[in-house]
Amino acid sequence: MVRAILLISLLVGAVSAGVVGPGAPCGGRENESFQLSKACEATCANPVQECLGDCVCNEGYVRNAQGNCVKSEDCSVVQCALNEVYTSCYQECEDKKCFPSDTDGLCGIPPECVPGCYCKRGFVRTPQGKCVKPANCPSNPCELIRCPAGTECVNGDCVPTNTGSDCSTLACLTPGGCAMVQPLVCTGPVNTPCPLVPMCVNANECWHTRCSLGYECVLQETACGSPPCTPHATCQLARI
Binding site for ligand NAG (CB under 6 A): 30-31, 68, 70-71, 74
Q: How would you write 203-223 as a 3-class SS string?
A: CCHHHHCCCCCCEEEEEECCC
Write down the least CB distance from residue 71 to ligand NAG, Å: 3
Nearest approach, Cβ of residue 20 and ligand NAG (Å) = 21
**Of 9 and 68, CB closest to ligand NAG:** 68
Specify the residue, 70 or 78, whose C-beta has the smaller distance to ligand NAG. 70
> Exposed, middle or buried, 46 (CB in 10 Å: 0-12/13-18/19+)?
exposed
32 or 95, CB closer to ligand NAG? Answer: 32
- Cβ nearer to ligand NAG, comparing 68 with 174: 68
Closest approach of Cβ 39 to ligand NAG, in Å? 29
Q: Tell me whether residue 65 or residue 106 sits nearer to ligand NAG (CB atom).
A: 65
DSSP-derived secondary structure letter, 239: P
How far apart are CB 53 and ligand NAG at their closest, in Å? 20
Kind and range of the H or E run holding 180? strand 178-182
CB of 55 to ligand NAG, least distance (A): 12
* Dist CA 118 CA 116 (whole Å): 7
Q: First-to-last CA distance in the chain? A: 71
Q: Give 161: exposed, middle or buried? Use CB within 10 Å, 0-12, 13-18, 19+.
A: middle
Q: 3-state SS string over 68-133?
A: CEEEHHHCCCCCCCCCEEEECCCCHHHCCECCCCCCCCCCCCCCCCCCEEEECCCCEECCCCCEEC
Q: Which is nearer to ligand NAG, 15 or 77 (CB)?
A: 77
CB of 63 vs ligand NAG, minimal distance in Å: 9
